[in-house]
Amino acid sequence: MTLESWLRDRTPPPPRRLVERIGEVLGDRAAASADEAPELCLDAAVELLGELYCRSGGRESALDLLTVDALVTYAFEASASEPAKLQARAISAMSRLSLVPQ
């Protein structure tokens, strides 16, 4: 199963525009195995957050902020199948996200 198909199976489904933006941000990563979802979603979220940090904020950033939030949420939803790794993933995610503005 690809990451794209795994995301398509999530319920409840997100709004159409958010689904489109997630697809745009994931790019080629969407074709990778769903087994890589935690890393791929977090990678995409960190990249987009970095882009957001470099531009001025405002209402035009709302969709991208929601996209970052959704990607991080999906990363952890995918991690739920490996509870033994959850704490390490959470620490890694917090570290990576907190370093974005630097």
Q: Give the model confidence (pLDDT) of 24-55 as tens digits.
A: 999 999 999 999 999 999 999 999 999 998 88
Q: Give the model confidence (pLDDT) of 58-92 as tens digits.
A: 788 999 999 999 999 999 999 998 999 999 999 99
pTM: 0.93
Name the helix (H) or strand (E) containing 93: helix 86-99
Report the C-alpha dihedral over residues 68, 61, 29, 83, rounded to 10 degrees: 0
